[in-house]
Structure 1
């Protein structure tokens, strides 16, 4: 197993349950935030997710930190339920763990 595969496995163990589309939609309906970290080419190719906040991965922590000067208006508090979405679930798992640590 490569080092990055081990890191991904560890992140997924720490995060626990991974949501599917219906659960994510329900969370959004209940006031949670969907965050699409796919890069522009993938969004153009596959389409956007209605109501999702688009944040490139390299800006994620700065835009989702409610105490930061560069936060997105949607990042209202640290307890906000957030689902991070990418193309295949690898980058979003690592990103979600980073947000949890934040």
Structure 2
């Protein structure tokens, strides 16, 4: 296998050096804030397996750039709300760090949950599961 120009770990480190990172207890305190939009970029199977933050908007990682871009045919209105603080998260904070850095390159202001969903429940964050809907 040819050597890479940059490792995934270095991409995450580079992203984290230039984006806003939010600690888990701080985002837990923002859950009820109507001016905060939490965006879950995990795979649907991850959400089924571990639950999710109630009220978080689910946007699978592969579509983020297209859903955020107002000129894209895939644009989602949730990303066009003025005055909102967008906080993205994945499981461990790696994918969301790279995602937020990419979105900032596009001109979309956002932050991410530093440690991801992996510490959410440990810190007392609310968790919903699909069986809760019944």
Taking structure 2 as the reference length, the TM-score comes to 0.65
How far residue 97 of structure 1 moved from its aligned partner, in angstroms, is 0.6
**1:58/1:28 Cα in 2 relative to 1: closer, same or farther (>3 Å)?**
farther
Count of residues paired in the alignment: 100
Question: Residue 23 of structure 2 aligns with which residue?
Answer: 20
Give the unaligned 5+ runs of structure 2: 1-5, 107-134
Equivalent residue, structure 2, for 1:100:
104
Distance in 1 separating the partners of 2:44 and 2:94: 17
Q: Which runs of 5+ in 1 are unaligned?
A: none
TM-score by length of 1: 0.83
C-alpha distance in structure 1 between counterparts of 2:41 and 2:10, whole Å: 22
Q: How large is the Cα RMSD of the aligned pairs?
A: 2.1
What is the alpha-carbon distance in structure 1 between the residues aligned to residue 31 and residue 66 of structure 2? 22
Higher helix content, 1 or 2:
1
